[in-house]
Amino acid sequence: MQKEEKIKLGPAGIGGFKEAPAYLEEFSKLGISCAEIPFTYGIWLDNKQAEEIGKIAEKFKVQLSIHAPYYINLDSNDETKVKASMKRILDSCERAHYLKAKYVVFHAAFYGKDSPEKVYEVVKKRILEMQRIIKKNSWNVSLAPETTGKKSQFGTLKELLLLSKETGCFFTTDFAHLEAREGKENYLEVIKELQKNKIKTIHCHFSGIEYNEKGEKRHVTTEPDKIKKLLTLLKKSKIEATIINESHNPVEDTLKSIKILKSL
């Protein structure tokens, strides 16, 4: 990567706790400058382990982030599910603090039978509650709710931009999810909306994606043409971006992306 590169590229995944040191060392050698730890099916690190991995990542200059568990719905009618959802996010924040990971990514809620406006207000309330706990514990992390790929999920770009303004939280721009949600490739429109809102730094996800009329079906291998298009637009926009690849071959697609970025 070029010195002071404004676009960081990395994969979702660093192996398990035992494999992480070797993965991070190899990432550094390959020019991979960021990586996301997936807690998507459960939190698999304790604080001590997180601190160890954080030190290794710092040594090899790999910026970490976390994807919190999938089992989250901050607008559930069942209060026990809401509390469990908040605990999963906050437990991820605690690990992120010890990892020195900047962002905790999560899918915030489903609309269910509620209006998008009502769900927004509920999510906003929960975000503010969690931020108070984060502040109380002096955890140096930012909540980063993600743009989602299914129309049944809370998480349009406009919702998250407003949420960020009103709560001070960060957010994650998933270009693949937004393509699936809108039913078309819309990188330029997304970047224009970010610029309109004076966003200068983004944490984002990217991959190939399959979708239908309801939105996202699954992540797939990232096409070189799409990588080139997105990186060209981001470079032109001068937005500072950390891009986590979530395809089924995230390291391979990241290396493909690094090669394309160097050619631009």
For a pLDDT cut of 70, what percent of the chain falls above it? 98
User: CB 243: neighbour CB atoms within 10 A?
Assistant: 24
Q: Helix, strand, or coil here: 207? A: coil
For the stretch 7-63, pLDDT in tens is 999 999 999 999 999 999 999 999 999 999 999 999 999 999 999 999 999 999 999
Distance CA 239, CA 212 (A): 30
Whole-number CA gyration radius for the chain: 17
Number of H helices, E strands in the chain: 9, 10
Is 7-263 a domain of CATH 3.20.20.150?
Answer: yes
Average pLDDT, the chain: 95
Distance CA 193, CA 33 (A): 26
Domain residue ranges in the chain: 7-263
Distance CA 208, CA 149 (A): 12
For the stretch 166-178, pLDDT in tens is 999 999 999 999 9
Phi, psi of 150 (to 5 degrees): -115, 140
Structure tokens at 241: 């971006």
Q: What share of the chain is helix, strand, coil (3-state, %, to 5)?
A: 45, 20, 35
Residue-level pLDDT at 128: 98
CB-CB contact of 131 with 164 (8 Å): no
Distance CA 23, CA 37 (A): 12
Distance CA 25, CA 232 (A): 28
For the stretch 128-140, pLDDT in tens is 999 999 999 999 9
Q: Where are the beta strands (DSSP E) in 119-246?
A: 142-145, 172-174, 201-206, 208-212, 215-220, 240-245
Distance CA 248, CA 207 (A): 9
CB-CB contact of 76 with 28 (8 Å): no
- Cβ-in-10-Å burial (0-12, 13-18, 19+) of 29 comes to exposed
For a pLDDT cut of 90, what percent of the chain falls above it? 97
User: With the CA atoms of 178, 252, 235 and 167 taken in that order, what torsion angle do they form, in degrees rounded to the nearest 10?
Assistant: 50
pLDDT surpassing 50 at residue 2? no
At what angle are helices 157-167 and 116-136 packed, to 10 degrees?
A: 40
- Cβ-in-10-Å burial (0-12, 13-18, 19+) of 2 comes to exposed
For the whole prediction, is pTM greater than 0.75? Answer: yes
Residue-level pLDDT at 5: 72
Q: Name the DSSP letter for residue 38.
A: E
Residue-level pLDDT at 97: 98
List, in sequence order, every residue forming a beta bridge with 34; answer none if it has no partner.
Answer: 63
Residue-level pLDDT at 252: 97
List, in sequence order, every residue forming a beta bridge with 9; answer none if it has no partner.
Answer: 243
Distance CA 144, CA 123 (A): 12
pLDDT surpassing 80 at residue 75? yes
